[in-house]
């Protein structure tokens, strides 16, 4: 019956926006330079959507970055 579990402990492997696997290279024991997020710049507008209490705790996932680009490209 507890709905606050997600907020209680932030999982660094989960996207703060959709809760999906962010596939961060660091969490898999690899270098930051091999992470997909180095190649795909995270849009500032997307970073601003991350709730303040979760900012800097977990990476945004590739799916949310792609969705954001689709959203902004569609324009009107």
Near Zn ion by CB under 5 A: residue from 14, 15, 35, 58:
15
Residue with tokens 């792609």: 66
Minimum CB distance to Zn ion smaller for 1 or for 52: 52
Cβ closer to Zn ion: 37 or 61?
61
| Cα–Cα dist 66/10, whole Å | 23
Query: Rule CB under 5 A: is residue 35 a binding residue for Zn ion?
Result: no
Secondary structure letter of residue 35 according to DSSP: S
Kindly state the tokens that stand for 20.
């999906």
With left for phi above 0 and alpha for psi between -120 and 50, is residue 50 left, alpha or beta? beta
- Does the protein bind Zn ion through residue 58 (CB under 5 A)? no
Decide if residue 61 touches Zn ion (CB under 5 A).
Answer: yes
Interacting residues with Zn ion (CB under 5 A):
15, 17-18, 20, 61, 64
């Amino acid at each position: 019956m507890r709905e606050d579990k997600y907020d209680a402990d932030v999982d660094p492997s989960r996207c703060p926006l959709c809760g999906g696997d962010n596939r961060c290279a660091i969490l898999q024991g690899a270098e930051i330079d091999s992470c997909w997020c180095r190649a795909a710049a995270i849009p500032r507008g997307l970073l601003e959507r991350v709730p303040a209490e979760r900012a800097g705790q977990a990476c945004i996932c590739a799916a949310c970055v792609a969705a954001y680009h689709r959203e902004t490209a569609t324009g009107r």
